[in-house]
Structure 1
Amino acid sequence: MVRILKALLLAVSFIAHERAGADQDLLEQARDYLHKGEPKAAVIQLKNLLQGNPENADARVLIGESYLMLGDGPSAAKELEKARDLGVSRDRWMVPLARAYLLQAKPKTILEQIEPEDDLAETMRAQVYGIRGLAHISLNQPEQARESFDAALKLDSNASDALLGLAMLEIQNKQFKKAIEYAAQAVAADAKSVSAWVILGETRRLDGDLAGSAEAFTKALEIQPFDVRARLGRAAVFLATGKTEDAQKDVDEVQKNVGEVPLALYLHAVIAFQKKEFQEAEDALLKVTSALPNHLSSRLLLGTIAYQQGKYESAENNLAQYLGTFPKHLPAAKLLAATRMKLGRPHDAVELLKGFEDQASDDPQYLALLGSAYLQEKKYDSATEYLNRASELAPEEGSVKAQLALGRIGSGQMDQAVDDLKSAVELDQNLMQADVMLILTLIHQKKTDEAIEAAQKMRSKMPGDPMPENLIGAAYMAKGDTGKAREHWTSALKLKPDYTTAALNLAKLELSGNNPESAVGYYQQVLQRDSKNLAAHLGLAQIAETRKDYESMEKYLKEAREKNPKALQPAVMLSRYLLARGKALQALEVARDAENHHHDHPLALQSLALAQSANGEGASAITTFKKLVSKVPNNPEYRHQLAQVLYTKGEKQAAKAEWESALKHSPDYVPALLAQAELHVQEKKFREALKLAETIKTKHPKSPLGDQLEGDVQFAQNLFKEALPAYEKAFQSAPSPVLARRLFQTRRALGKDQEAFDGLNQWLQSAQDDLESWVLLAMAHQEGGRQKEALEAYEKAQKLKPDNTVVQNNLAWLYQEVGSAKALPLAEQLLPASENHPEVMDTIGWIFVQNGKYEKGVNLLRDAAVHAPHLVQIRIHLAEALAKSGRKDEARKELERLLKEKKNFADRDKAETLLKGL
């Protein structure tokens, strides 16, 4: 019996040893397959091994890694979790399991279960930090993501996940060059790294370099032909470039080697969708969402397909899921709004779309859709407003066209667009917004008779509704028949007395007929019914501006902003008005509030930057302008304004680069050309500056700016004879205050004083509010000893701007010189403005002394001399004041010190004479 037991034990031992050897063989074969890039074959070997030995931890790790290479996240996670449970050390399962969770779109699981523990090796901790950063990106947590990536790179400067993540963050911020730098860094660190090439391919794809992206993905596939990321990444590039067949080949290759991987199925669905094979696309997408319920791109495409097939409940369900995670995705919001309109819920569509107004204010498709929803709600004013804005923008976008059975905007020629709209009306009589868009488009095309005919047809379908009457009125107005326009707008108001659009149209009609009082009446009527109406407030502000009633203009703008606190237009207008009126701090407050409500809107950013600059916040203005330029890189005005602030801050090279960029995109942009010319003049490169003047004259022959620039360049060289005809030509073309002053200065420089004064006086007869020209004229008369004429000119200037320090100072001085009793009161009035202005202190102090107020005068003159010891006139005045007040010793010391410090100055004889008299 004992011998039998021993034999059995030997047999079991032999069998176990044999099985262990077989397992080891299968493991080695699997590793070889993986090394050769054949993960599918490796999976087969490992499955065979695990059938006989399910507790083999090494096989569990290896099969998990194989599934990972195949892009099968769920299977990889399942196997790696088993390996973990079998007690495999963390350094073998932690990182691949984290990657498996990434493939399954389970970022929260990563953050909860995968920690960069201190006892891990540094390279592994770097990998964990990198993957955690990618999880934060999935959760839309960019700050936490960047912290994780920075931690990874401190441990390993070439950590690929961190580099990929940083590239993704930079792409989100539209900093494409920086993203490419991170990707290139990964490639430079290891040219044989598949991940590095995949990173570069992805960043190039997102940057729009599709050819470079395809090249990078191809490099990755040369290293690892079965890499799913590279294969599917290249398939996505092929799809984007219209190479559907090539994309299909890559997708087929993945499915052949890996099977129905979710991302491959998704791309297959996209290809089927492009071929209008909706059922096949839907079948593939349902498999994706079965494996990955939160694969949101699939949800978006399923929603689109369901909409196309008229399955609106399904469309709403899928699109709502997508928007739940990406609430700012405008295309999905448009489609969901369209779905809700089809379900007879226009109010829900409006509520959804209104949340996108800031980011889509110049999107004609969005505007047409919102207008259509309002029309379905029978809110005619709002419908008209948005549909009209859509039709105004559409010609710039290409055309107006009915799409998705809504007033969608597409591409094509304007005539074709009109045909498309006509077809939309014929196909679906319920598409009322297509009627409206057709009429508005015809009006913008100046095909007014066709517009009137179309509007009349619309009226027959909508008896008793005011909108057709309003549109007929708009068509007649475009035709120039104001009487008919008035008739139909009045009819619209009779049908619906609170139809604001018609009332506003009548107000504009009155304004165009130079009847502002009647226009005010209409605007007031609108505000009685709707105290928040933005157009009425702004219309009243416009009328106040034309009347130069700036107090009322400010009042209406503030009311518009108060009643519409989130509206951008009144905030921008008010901020710029306040800047123009010298109320920079108030302007900044308004601009900041506008930017808070409209973070990325170009107009809000521009207003904020201008206000920051006006308040001396140059660094902040530069930051804001740079943000603006990054969002709208081809707008020359924004670059020019950035350059101006940079130049003011002393960053001349940076300013020059911005002006060059502005001209690269817009070679005819005059402000940048003028700025470059000014730089050339400062650098005494007069020939280059004159070339720019010729460029402006050639490209803008009707503008005076080319001739004006030529005059400025010649004037800067003291070539007054050459400057004069250029200024005269510019002034003849377009008289302006600047040119009037330039002509005056040039004629005086040529000794043509009579002609100079006659010319400036003639200009001021027609430009009574030109403050600077009055001051220039006054100073010229003062220099020439013509005190009466100087006083008259200064008094004109003071009426225009009573608080102008220069004018008050010079006027007070002249009053004292002619013995006027007005000198002392004006000096007293000027006293608060004298702080830190030694010339003003000198004027007031001397007037005080002349009027017997010695103590006050001496104190002011002493302060002035401390602030400006280099100004000899002030120190002589101080000495005289001290002498007059009986302090001759102090006066003598002041004069002796002055004569010792200054060897040669114009009033030295006067100072010496004054000293001798002491």
Structure 2
Amino acid sequence: MVRFFQAFLLLTATIGCNAASAEKDPLEQARNYLRKGESKAAVIELKNALQANPENADARVLLGESYLKLGDGPSAAKELEKARDLGAPKESWIVSLARAYLLQDKPKAVLDQISPDERLNDMLRAQILGIRGLAHILLKQTEQAKESFDAALKFDSKASDALLGLAMLEAQQKRYKQAIEYANQSIAADSKNVNAWIVLGETKRLSGDLQGAADAFTKALDLQPFDIRARLGRATAYLASNKADEAQKDINEVRKSAGEVPLALYLEAVIAFQKGALQEAEDALVKVTGALPDHLPSRLLLGVVAYRQGKYESAENNLAQYVRTFPEQLPAAKLLAATQMKLGRPSEAIRTLKGLEDRASDDSQFFALLGSAYLQAKQYDSATEYLNRASELAPNVASVKAQLALGRIASGQMEQAVDDLKSAVELDQNLLQADVLLVLALIQQKKLDEAVAAAEKMKGKMPGDPMPHNLLGAAYMAKGNTEKAREHWQQALRLKPDYATAALNLAKLDLSGNNPDAAAQRYQQVLKHDPKNLAAHIGLAQIAEMRKDFESVEKHLTEAREKNPKALQPAVTLSRFYLARGKALQALEVARATLSDHPDHLMALQSLGLAQMANGQEASAIATFKKLVSKVPNNPEYRHQLAQMLYKKGEKQAAVAEWEQTLQQTPDYLPALLAQAELKLREKKYDDALKIAERIKTAHPKSAAGFQVEGDIRFAQKQFKEALPAYEKAFQSAPSSILARLLFQTRRALGQDKEAFDGLTQWLESSQEDVDAWTTLAMAYQESGRLREAVEAYEKAQSLAAGSTVIQNNLAWLYQELGSDKALPLAEKLLAASENRPEVMDTVGWIFVQNGKQAEGLNLLRDAAVHAPHIGQIRIHLAEALAQMGRKDEARKELERLLKEKKNFAERDKAEALLKGL
């Protein structure tokens, strides 16, 4: 209400008129333009005049009044203030400057700077007091406003601003009859008062008298054909009367004389919206909000338009601005909540709607929306409560029944859910959602014959449609009848060859039947019809992973992400894949991009935290996991990952506190229990660690973890006899590579070499691709002097991990020890990996020396000795190489230094013997 009068009433400016002026006087030309309603032309004329004489105060006044006519408050105030500073008479600018301040929504400036000077005549003082009253209205100071209006009327009983201000006060209280009386008083005092007719017209429009409003605005236009306010007021009345064509004519007149006046653009947007021209409406509204950011009707309509266009972020921004000012406007609040649900933020939708229940006591749509928000937020009890209220208010609306059924399904009330779905199906035979949900609910209840019957009934309603066949396939699959399931899914594809759901179901059936080739073919077929299909891309990646074809896994996941750049699943999966393959930087890059596309999404945040962790960005990872914990404080996984990072960064106490908090919330959370046990083990608090191991065994009796922890504790205490049965129990429960190797080490520690080698060999018979086990076996063979067996085991390990420098280094050394011609080629291959790795420099250097590349080998051995002077074997090799090359003095000095520096080391006897031989 206040904004209407600000836009319509406050544009009035008193334009002086001097008929005696010379015809070519630019000021008189400007006045002529203003009389004809050509305000823009007047501005041009006056600017030209001011270029010639910038100190012309009269031109400044007239230019300010021209801007006022155009609704440009800032420009009007600027010119009028210049006129004031140039010494123009107060009576020439004071009223217009006051109106310019009001037009800028600066009521305080009016009250601070504009006052009814006693030297002014009574009429001007009345005008000023009337405008001050309007300023008080804008500041919501009703009593002060009335006082100003009453004071104005004492100076001039017919003061237009005061009478019309009183009309505004009455209209604000929706006392339209009294408001109309004040407007009529102003008209009675001066029937040619355009402002009075405009206020009368707007008041009648607000009271619902649209024809009376149009008549009043027409009267104003009869008096002043170029008045923008009257044109826009009448256009608004016409629009409310569904007379869009007549409204457009008035808008066109405004555009013709004044250009892109914001309110005219707004009304054009309304007309475009009513015609369904959404883009046209949006373009106009963007211009309005650019000029008037706080024009709330435009914000509301822009929100509605954006929602219709699927631009939900824009819709939310605009609707939220409107609802903040008018939180109890039910239609706007409902649309904002619906938008927030579209954006996947049901909690915000709930906050938007909560507190409005009393105002919406008979609004079934409101309760259906609130219930749906709770349903999306997984607060199933509240969802069912509100959806039930919606159903009671609209018992014959099938869609509400279907939503209520969803709530009941989620909260486990399956019997009632099925009843609601049956009702929905009966109420609306075309409500596909209810039919589908009914079949699925019956499958979930294991009422499989009823599910088949419901799907058959659906098939009768939808002849030639593949969906009922897809549901029949699901029902038969639940019954264990894979042949019938396959038959219906194939029939669905015959009816619609590009029906992806059936093809994907058949692919799963192929996979369960151990036929990945057939499944891959189906996924490829799906992608032919739908290149973006996520399930097909992910399915192909899973098949590639089963085949250990990691290059193809990356290819399929990358394609899935490229085809669906904003989708969360492929991005998160790709990031996790890179982490698993040791490609930490690529994982971090993908995770950052994912979070940019899905700000604050839990999965995106977790992926980023894990990637930061893998890249050693400890502080960043901690910040990310803290954010996750703050969002979901009761999620043990997030809190455990935070504790891991805190511990890694050295913040041990903080980590322990997080693990303790995790176990307070989820006492049996295994990763936290294991972390605590490992912590106690590192601190050598073995009794405390054993208590945690017992707690794990009690909480997770089917898990191998408790026994494995017990074995680790016993092994650390060198209690190998006690460790062995614990590891054996763990291995029996869940055989794994780590347990196979722990058993091997424990048996060897007990001197049970035969049992150790037999056990690890037996494990490798069934786990041929366990590179860690092959490496462990190879090292043990090497240590035991069984060099040829060690070579065979290393070669197997190398075939599985071709890039392992450790395996290649040991294998090259063994080749040399056995006199194999494979030693030198492998050493040359290792040369590139030897930099800053003394153990590899030693191997490569020694092989080079033994195979005719003595100078190069010697340099490598010298570098190795510099990098690792504490390793006796490297320095002995250096001495041997020097001796072989005839440089015995240098060899002798190297050995003497070694024996002097290191009193006790494994190769001391060998060093002494070598020195004696020199």
TM-score, with structure 2 as normaliser: 0.59
Cα offset for 1:698?
1.0
Deviation string 1:567-605 (CA, Å, 9 cap, x unpaired) is 111122222222222222222222222222122222222
Residue aligning to 1:523: 523
Q: 1:84 aligns with which of 88, 112, 123?
A: 112
In the alignment, structure 1 residue 356 sits paired with structure 2 residue 331: no
Residue aligning to 1:381: none
Q: How does 1:272-283 map to 2 (within 5 A)?
A: none
Q: Distance in 1 between matches of 2:140 and 2:584?
A: 53
Does the 8 Å CA contact 1:492/1:502 hold for their aligned counterparts?
yes
Deviation string 1:602-655 (CA, Å, 9 cap, x unpaired) is 222222222222223333322222222222222222222222232222222222
Cα offset for 1:339?
7.8
Quick check: 732-741 or 636-645, which moved more?
636-645
Does the 8 Å CA contact 1:299/1:318 hold for their aligned counterparts?
no
Does the 8 Å CA contact 1:571/1:590 hold for their aligned counterparts?
yes
Cα offset for 1:82?
5.5
Q: How does 1:409-428 map to 2 (within 5 A)?
A: 409-410=406-407, 412=411, 413-428=413-428
Cα offset for 1:693?
1.1
Q: Distance in 2 between matches of 1:601 and 1:855?
A: 60
Cα offset for 1:355?
6.3
* Letter in structure 2 aligned against 1:790: A
Q: Distance in 1 between matches of 2:664 and 2:912?
A: 62
Residue aligning to 1:685: 685
Q: Distance in 2 between matches of 1:560 and 1:360?
A: 28
Residue 675 to residue 340, structure 1, CA distance change in 2 (3 Å): closer
Residue 525 to residue 512, structure 1, CA distance change in 2 (3 Å): same
Q: Distance in 2 between matches of 1:661 and 1:814?
A: 52
Deviation string 1:33-91 (CA, Å, 9 cap, x unpaired) is xxxxxxxxxxxxxxxxxxxxxxxxxxxxxxxxxxxxxxxxx9xx998666423689xxx
Q: Distance in 2 between matches of 1:639 and 1:426?
A: 49
Residue aligning to 1:596: 596
SS in 2 for 1:803: coil
Residue 539 to residue 857, structure 1, CA distance change in 2 (3 Å): same
Residue 700 to residue 397, structure 1, CA distance change in 2 (3 Å): farther
SS in 2 for 1:498: coil
Residue 518 to residue 100, structure 1, CA distance change in 2 (3 Å): farther
Q: How does 1:156-555 map to 2 (within 5 A)?
A: 324-326=318-320, 356=343, 405-406=399-400, 407-408=402-403, 409-410=406-407, 412=411, 413-555=413-555
In the alignment, structure 1 residue 694 sits paired with structure 2 residue 694: yes
Does the 8 Å CA contact 2:571/2:590 hold for their aligned counterparts?
yes
Cα offset for 1:661?
2.2
Cα offset for 1:430?
4.4
Does the 8 Å CA contact 1:526/1:536 hold for their aligned counterparts?
yes
SS in 2 for 1:889: helix
SS in 2 for 1:841: helix
Deviation string 1:444-486 (CA, Å, 9 cap, x unpaired) is 3333223223333333333333222222222222222222222
Does the 8 Å CA contact 1:398/1:414 hold for their aligned counterparts?
no
Residue 424 to residue 683, structure 1, CA distance change in 2 (3 Å): same
* Letter in structure 1 aligned against 2:555: K
* Letter in structure 2 aligned against 1:635: N
Residue aligning to 1:798: 798
In angstroms, what is the RMSD of aligned CA positions?
4.3
Quick check: 427-436 or 604-613, which moved more?
427-436
Cα offset for 1:807?
0.7
Q: Distance in 2 between matches of 1:701 and 1:726?
A: 14
Deviation string 1:222-280 (CA, Å, 9 cap, x unpaired) is xxxxxxxxxxxxxxxxxxxxxxxxxxxxxxxxxxxxxxxxxxxxxxxxxxxxxxxxxxx
Cα offset for 1:434?
2.4
In the alignment, structure 1 residue 753 sits paired with structure 2 residue 750: no
SS in 2 for 1:789: helix
Residue aligning to 1:782: 782
Residue aligning to 1:559: 559
Deviation string 1:722-768 (CA, Å, 9 cap, x unpaired) is 11111111111111111111111111111111111111111111111
Q: Distance in 2 between matches of 1:734 and 1:778?
A: 24
Q: Distance in 2 between matches of 1:865 and 1:446?
A: 73
Does the 8 Å CA contact 2:466/2:496 hold for their aligned counterparts?
yes
Cα offset for 1:810?
0.8
Cα offset for 1:784?
1.1
Does the 8 Å CA contact 2:380/2:407 hold for their aligned counterparts?
no
Q: Distance in 1 between matches of 2:704 and 2:633?
A: 29
Residue 774 to residue 360, structure 1, CA distance change in 2 (3 Å): farther
Residue aligning to 1:571: 571
Residue 908 to residue 630, structure 1, CA distance change in 2 (3 Å): same
Does the 8 Å CA contact 2:681/2:713 hold for their aligned counterparts?
yes
* Letter in structure 1 aligned against 2:112: R
Cα offset for 1:536?
1.1
Does the 8 Å CA contact 1:391/1:437 hold for their aligned counterparts?
no
TM-score, with structure 1 as normaliser: 0.59
Q: Distance in 1 between matches of 2:635 and 2:440?
A: 28
Q: How does 1:612-623 map to 2 (within 5 A)?
A: 612-623=612-623
Deviation string 1:339-386 (CA, Å, 9 cap, x unpaired) is 899xxxxxxx9xx799626x679999xxxxxxxxxxxxxxxxxxxxxx
Cα offset for 1:880?
1.8
* Letter in structure 1 aligned against 2:486: R
Q: How does 1:52-91 map to 2 (within 5 A)?
A: 83-85=111-113
Residue aligning to 1:584: 584
Residue 576 to residue 318, structure 1, CA distance change in 2 (3 Å): closer
Residue aligning to 1:890: 890
Q: Distance in 2 between matches of 1:680 and 1:790?
A: 36
Q: Distance in 2 between matches of 1:569 and 1:84?
A: 60
Q: Distance in 1 between matches of 2:503 and 2:318?
A: 40
Cα offset for 1:670?
0.8
Residue aligning to 2:197: none
Residue 397 to residue 496, structure 1, CA distance change in 2 (3 Å): farther
Q: Distance in 2 between matches of 1:825 and 1:362?
A: 66
Look at both structures and tell me which one has the larger radius of gyration over its CA atoms: 2
Q: Distance in 2 between matches of 1:665 and 1:677?
A: 18
Residue aligning to 2:718: 718
* Letter in structure 2 aligned against 1:84: D
Gaps of 5+ in 1: 1-73, 89-97, 105-291, 304-312, 342-348, 365-386
Q: Distance in 2 between matches of 1:810 and 1:102?
A: 86
Deviation string 1:497-519 (CA, Å, 9 cap, x unpaired) is 22221222222222222232322
Deviation string 1:81-105 (CA, Å, 9 cap, x unpaired) is 66423689xxxxxxxxx9999999x
Residue aligning to 2:81: none
Deviation string 1:545-575 (CA, Å, 9 cap, x unpaired) is 2233333222222221221122111122222
Residue aligning to 1:634: 634
Residue aligning to 1:651: 651
Residue aligning to 2:768: 768
